[in-house]
Amino acid sequence: MLNIHKASAGSGKTYTLTYNYIKLLLGAGDEQGNYRLASDRKRHRAILAITFTNKATDEMKRRIVQQLAMLAHVDAVNGSKSDYEERLCKELGCDSTQLANAARDALFSLLGDYGFFNVSTIDAFFQTVLRTFAREAELTGNYEVELNEKNAIAIGVSEMLSSINRATPEESRRSGDMRMLIAWLEQYMLSKIEAGETYNIFNRGSNLNGALVDFVNNALSEVYKLNAKEIQDYLADKNKISDFAKKLNSEISEIPKLIAGEAARVCEAIEREGLTASVNHHVMNRLREWSSGEVRDLNMTVVKAAANPDARYKVRQAQLFSADLDDAIGAVLNDCIALTRRYNTYKLMRGNVYNLGLIGDIVHHALEVQKENNSIVLSDTNDILRRIINQEEAPFIYERMGVRLRHFLIDEFQDTSRLQWINLGALVRESLSTGNDNLIIGDEKQSIYRFRNSDPKLLSYDVPKEFERDSRLFGNSVEENTNWRSAREIVQFNNTLFTALMSRIGLKEVIDHYAGVVQNIAKKEMKGYVKAIPSADDEEALDNMVEEIKRQLKQGYRQGDIAVLVHKWTQGSAVIERLLDAKLEDEELSDLRVLSDDSLAISAAPSVRKIVSVLRFIDARQPLEGETPTPQQLIARLVNRYEYFSSEGDDAACALERAFVDDTPDELAMEAADMTCINLPSLVERIIGRYVDVDTLSRENVYVCAFQDMVIDFCSRADADIHSFMKWWDATGCYSKLSTPASLDAIKVMTIHKSKGLEFPCVHMPFCGLPRNSKSDIAWFGTRDAEGALLDDFVRDGFDKECVPPFVPLSVGKGLDGTMFDPRYREIVSEKYVDRLNLLYVACTRAVNELMFYYTPLKKIKVEQLDGTSLPTTDFLLANAFSVADAAFCCNNEPLPGLLAPLKNHVDSCDLFEFGEPVDHKADQRDEPMVEMPAYYSYDNDGIWEMSRIEDLEDMERPRRRGIVLHSIMSGVRRRGDVERAVRRRAARGFIDDDEIDGYVAELSEALSDERIDEWFEGYRRLLRESTIAVPTGDGVRNYRPDRVVWTSQGTIDVIDYKFGEEEPSGYIRQVKGYMRLISKIYPDVEVRGFLWYPLQKRITRV
């Protein structure tokens, strides 16, 4: 059975998820759906819980383990009783003692087999599946995952432009594809010239180049990926685009002539009758424009005149027109409007058809680069898996993965994309077909990630309909929907606000989403306070917010209890600036602390900026004496000086001035460039030790540690040279931020999107208008109907079906209104409207005690913001609710007494809204121990090379030296395809000479071709290479380092020790047995096998 749980804000979603996981873990269901305690203690291996963030994953794992410990009555939980105990005993048909024994066994089994504790993000799970099927996806097992799709697109753009630069003039003339690509780029640049923007796309640093990357990034939505094959098949023949463009040009040229002919005839007829003055002047002017061949956008007057005869003429003039003339005017108006709409559509498509070609070319180049580098973009995982999963049966997928999943629990289902569901749905259907229970849980009202391809229709409509006979729906009625988070007035306000808006807004999507918005109130005794303060502008809104924050602090709220929510981060910056000004101006706020993402940016720390500036200086390679510095070297020198002086405390102006005259940082950086270091982390360590003072290391320890962690992490998965790291840092790494504990006592400033899933005693919304969005959205519009036939306009105008693209990317705007794409355009506008409403819902439901708005009262409510044709502001939504939610409204719409409130009665003559009253608050006592972090310690050791074994290699006997080198190479091999890279890395580090590379590669590749070791190098579930096992002894810690530990697809753990000599002394066997004993203690329920492997002799000895 598929349990579909609609979990509104504050209704206990995490509780429900954890309970269902534990029920499936401890119990087994029969055919009637009744559960009893199960004897199998490996049931956790068959359950997969999917979340959408790493934070949610960690929280759910922690909650499951904690509740199991409480159910098991483990002493460590201080005798606390689980809220689940009574319900589980009833549902599993057992007493508390039996439940405790089962929970204890399950807990120990889970912790002892933690690698199979399957709670993960959806991306992590899909990556596990994809690595299992890497061969089918035409990838090698050690492929890299690019997290940022924009980087991949930027590379595609760069490669496309490079292909033009590399081509000779003769090649460009001969190649039809190249000519078309150049023509498309010329059109793209011309469109930018017309818009008054920069136009040199070949300048990689220009805004235009970045704009093209952004455009393609936005265009590669899930709609594209779902239809990628069809689009790419069309783009394979670039002549089709050319033919399509020619036909569009032909129609754009012919349609004004058709319009002119029809309009001229009716104008002549009107003039013959002498009735020109009796026609509505807007209509007559438009007819004259049409007759002269001018085609402009339609206005509503002309559109209404086509449908309504009375609107065609001036007052009391309609009777002057004969029926025939009136019919002729009406027919011409309708025909010309239809032709105008087709004309506008074709012009819109003609202006964007080159984008289609550019997208295809850029995607082609990006994929080629990914193929060369054996990498994929994370966002492409869903599409790749769709092709694999659709071809394979679920049992075979599980067999390849080495695990059998029977139960799925999917969290935040409203944020699932259609592609993700296509992949997950196949596994869920297989689970249901074998009689297993599954859970999906979410809330379509909290769907605010459509820009990441989430599709709330899956939860609200598609999945319930598909599994209508095999599902149960929970949480859709007020009796099943209780808010356990917020105070009474907060819940009543939200219930009334969104019920009122649902009654006012005539969109089906709003009604569907908010049908179950009303919640029961759990905390009826807790008093809440909602206030909407009228503010003339943003400055006054921020001033009012500061005063309210002062009041809240006086009434006992901690700074950490207060959150300020904004739509865009530019608004967040304004909030922070105002709060910091208030801290300086008002003694009562002198200890005010503000926490935001920007304040946690690792790149903002002066110590990190100093380290990066030195690395940048080294990377630029400064000129030798007598050499003329290049522009890049000069820039690196100035940047290094500027960052150095800034990190020393100089303000921006002073640091910039000193950068031009003071060369002190150059000497330090040159000294750093001459330092001998084994690798990039050691270079960073030495820069820290020599150039960052102790006070700074003490003050910014956490930032320095985080930066060094990033360096080490980068070196573990990419080319570990300075230049590669600096490219990655500038593109991606510099945006990284620290994570902080929620208990930090500071006012939180964050976007509404970031606040999702959190709660705060006090929530402020200082900006209730509509934030400006300078970027237009790109959407794909289909040119075929549901049966695959061309749309009527294309058929009517004689387009060749083969030359019409299946989809075209267009900017979403009012220019699509009334065109052949109008239905899809209306759907997109409705989705945006619902998303806007959902943002307000998420913001309002974060509050526990107080909810504060700062809004501009509206003098007039615009109808277009009610019918969905214009996006609503928070000002507008509040004004609407305040205007209709009176006592009669509550009486007519209240499902149960006391759940709605007459908001209209709480608005005074000055438009101030107050509901409830502020009360003194007793903040939670948080006596959490604070441990001061010591200063970052760096050991700058000039003798580091003398400490490495590399220098000793030449003095060793050749066989022993060779064994050490081979061991070193194998430590870098995860899969067979890694051999050459591992050998070259060892050569780069001085282990072997360049002329030995090919020999080592051939020798190890032959050794790894042995089929008996397949599961050690391909298809495994987990791998450790020369990882240390630390064992405490009486006088310290003893370390053990097995060469290779593999969690195989068969469920065993294999310990492999490499031997490159001929001997097999008993000491080797004892050593491996020791490793096996240690690992068996860690994983007592898993079979541990040991092997001595002689790669060069292709001999394996089982221990």
Q: Do both 86 and 135 map to the same domain? A: yes
When comparing pLDDT for 13 and 74, which is higher? 13
The model carries a pTM of 0.77
State the pairing for strand pair 438-442/407-410. parallel
| Tens digit of each residue's pLDDT (9 = 90 or more) over 983-1026 | 887 887 667 888 888 889 999 999 999 889 988 988 888 888 88
Look at residue 956 in the predicted model and tell me its pLDDT. Answer: 44
Question: Is there a domain that residue 22 lies in?
Answer: yes
Look at residue 953 in the predicted model and tell me its pLDDT. Answer: 44
Look at residue 944 in the predicted model and tell me its pLDDT. Answer: 47
Provide the domain count of the chain: 6
Question: Is there a domain that residue 1056 lies in?
Answer: yes
Mean pLDDT of 483-512: 88
Tokens of 585: 């101006």
User: How many angstroms separate the CA atoms of 674 and 228, rounded?
Assistant: 51
When comparing pLDDT for 220 and 147, which is higher? 220
Tokens of 570: 């530019």
User: How many angstroms separate the CA atoms of 988 and 284, rounded?
Assistant: 81
User: How many angstroms separate the CA atoms of 110 and 337, rounded?
Assistant: 69
User: How many angstroms separate the CA atoms of 102 and 112, rounded?
Assistant: 15
Residue 147 has pLDDT above 70, yes or no: no
Q: If you average pLDDT over every residue of the chain, what do you get?
A: 83
| Tens digit of each residue's pLDDT (9 = 90 or more) over 559-591 | 989 999 998 878 888 898 899 889 888 888 888
The mean-pLDDT minimum among 512-516, 606-610, 951-955 falls in 951-955
Q: Domain end: 900, 916, 932, which one?
A: 916
Mean pLDDT of 770-775: 56
Look at residue 1030 in the predicted model and tell me its pLDDT. Answer: 77
Residue 886 has pLDDT above 50, yes or no: yes
Mean pLDDT of 259-288: 91
Q: Do both 359 and 308 map to the same domain? A: no
| Tens digit of each residue's pLDDT (9 = 90 or more) over 1055-1064 | 999 888 766 5
Residue 945 has pLDDT above 50, yes or no: no
Question: Is there a domain that residue 681 lies in?
Answer: yes
User: How many angstroms separate the CA atoms of 248 and 808, rounded?
Assistant: 13
Look at residue 775 in the predicted model and tell me its pLDDT. Answer: 58
Closest CA to 998 of 990, 987, 1009: 987
Burial tier of 553 (Cβ tally within 10 Å: 0-12, 13-18, 19+): buried
Report the CATH number that the domain containing residue 560 is assigned in CATH.
3.40.50.300
Question: Is there a domain that residue 154 lies in?
Answer: yes
Q: Do both 522 and 634 map to the same domain? A: no
Q: Do both 610 and 593 map to the same domain? A: no
778 bridge partner residues: 811
Look at residue 205 in the predicted model and tell me its pLDDT. Answer: 53
Q: Do both 358 and 229 map to the same domain? A: yes
Question: Is there a domain that residue 939 lies in?
Answer: no
Closest CA to 106 of 33, 25, 199: 25
When comparing pLDDT for 390 and 415, which is higher? 415
Q: Do both 117 and 231 map to the same domain? A: no
User: How many angstroms separate the CA atoms of 954 and 961, rounded?
Assistant: 8
Q: Do both 527 and 619 map to the same domain? A: no
Concatenating the DSSP letter of every residue in 824-879 gives HHHHHHHHHHHHHHHHHHHHHTTEEEEEEEEE---SS--GGGTTTSSPPPHHHHHH
Q: Do both 110 and 208 map to the same domain? A: no
Question: Is there a domain that residue 562 lies in?
Answer: yes
When comparing pLDDT for 182 and 224, which is higher? 224
Q: Domain end: 899, 916, 933, which one?
A: 916
Q: Do both 726 and 591 map to the same domain? A: no
| Tens digit of each residue's pLDDT (9 = 90 or more) over 292-334 | 988 888 888 888 888 888 889 988 888 888 889 999 999 999 9
Q: Do both 493 and 551 map to the same domain? A: yes
DSSP category for residue 955: G
Q: Provide the b/e sequence for 786-807 (b: ≥16 CB within 10 Å).
A: eeeeebebbeeeebeeebbbeb
| Tens digit of each residue's pLDDT (9 = 90 or more) over 1026-1044 | 887 877 776 666 778 888 9
User: How many angstroms separate the CA atoms of 159 and 1071, rounded?
Assistant: 52
When comparing pLDDT for 177 and 469, which is higher? 469
Look at residue 671 in the predicted model and tell me its pLDDT. Answer: 65
Closest CA to 971 of 1039, 1043, 1022: 1043
- Residue 169 makes CB contacts below 8 A (sequence gap 6+) with none
| Contact present, 118 and 405 (Cβ < 8 Å) | yes
Mean pLDDT of 752-761: 90
The mean-pLDDT minimum among 122-126, 835-839, 945-949 falls in 945-949
Question: Is there a domain that residue 564 lies in?
Answer: yes
When comparing pLDDT for 927 and 777, which is higher? 777
Residue 77 has pLDDT above 60, yes or no: no
Look at residue 838 in the predicted model and tell me its pLDDT. Answer: 92
| Tens digit of each residue's pLDDT (9 = 90 or more) over 811-858 | 888 778 878 888 888 888 888 888 889 999 999 999 999 999 999 887
Residue 371 has pLDDT above 90, yes or no: no
| Tens digit of each residue's pLDDT (9 = 90 or more) over 83-107 | 898 999 999 999 999 999 999 999 9
Q: Do both 46 and 121 map to the same domain? A: yes
Task: Looking at mean pLDDT, say which of 269-273, 315-319, 390-394, 645-649 comes out highest.
Answer: 269-273
Look at residue 950 in the predicted model and tell me its pLDDT. Answer: 45
Burial tier of 147 (Cβ tally within 10 Å: 0-12, 13-18, 19+): exposed
| Tens digit of each residue's pLDDT (9 = 90 or more) over 1068-1084 | 888 889 899 888 888 88
Residue 625 has pLDDT above 60, yes or no: no
Residue 949 has pLDDT above 50, yes or no: no
The mean-pLDDT minimum among 18-27, 275-284, 627-636, 836-845 falls in 627-636
Q: Do both 583 and 661 map to the same domain? A: no
| Tens digit of each residue's pLDDT (9 = 90 or more) over 327-369 | 999 999 999 998 998 898 888 888 778 888 888 888 888 888 7
Q: Estimate to the nearest angstrom the gap between the alpha carbon of 162 and the chain centroid.
A: 30
Mean pLDDT of 675-704: 79
Residue 958 has pLDDT above 60, yes or no: no
Question: Is there a domain that residue 811 lies in?
Answer: no
Look at residue 394 in the predicted model and tell me its pLDDT. Answer: 65
Look at residue 194 in the predicted model and tell me its pLDDT. Answer: 62
The mean-pLDDT minimum among 11-15, 536-540, 1036-1040 falls in 1036-1040
The mean-pLDDT minimum among 280-289, 587-596, 738-747 falls in 738-747
Percentage, residues of the chain above pLDDT 70: 86
| Tens digit of each residue's pLDDT (9 = 90 or more) over 635-678 | 777 877 787 777 777 777 888 888 887 777 776 666 665 655 66
Q: Domain end: 895, 916, 937, which one?
A: 916
Task: Using pLDDT thresholds of 50, 70 and 90, give the confidence band for residue 770.
Answer: low
Mean pLDDT of 545-558: 94
Residue 243 has pLDDT above 70, yes or no: yes
Question: Where in the sequence is the domain holding 615, given as residue range(s)?
Answer: 602-735
Between CA 511 and CA 517, with CA 516 as vertex, the angle to 5 degrees is 90
Task: Using pLDDT thresholds of 50, 70 and 90, give the confidence band for residue 807.
Answer: very high
Look at residue 135 in the predicted model and tell me its pLDDT. Answer: 73
User: How many angstroms separate the CA atoms of 207 and 201, rounded?
Assistant: 8
| Contact present, 267 and 287 (Cβ < 8 Å) | yes
Mean pLDDT of 879-901: 88
User: How many angstroms separate the CA atoms of 460 and 517, rounded?
Assistant: 13
| Contact present, 1100 and 1093 (Cβ < 8 Å) | yes
DSSP category for residue 539: H
Mean pLDDT of 947-972: 64
Residue 946 has pLDDT above 50, yes or no: no
Closest CA to 603 of 709, 729, 513, 718: 729
Look at residue 736 in the predicted model and tell me its pLDDT. Answer: 83
User: How many angstroms separate the CA atoms of 975 and 966, rounded?
Assistant: 15
439 bridge partner residues: 3, 409
Residue 621 has pLDDT above 80, yes or no: no
Mean pLDDT of 879-891: 89
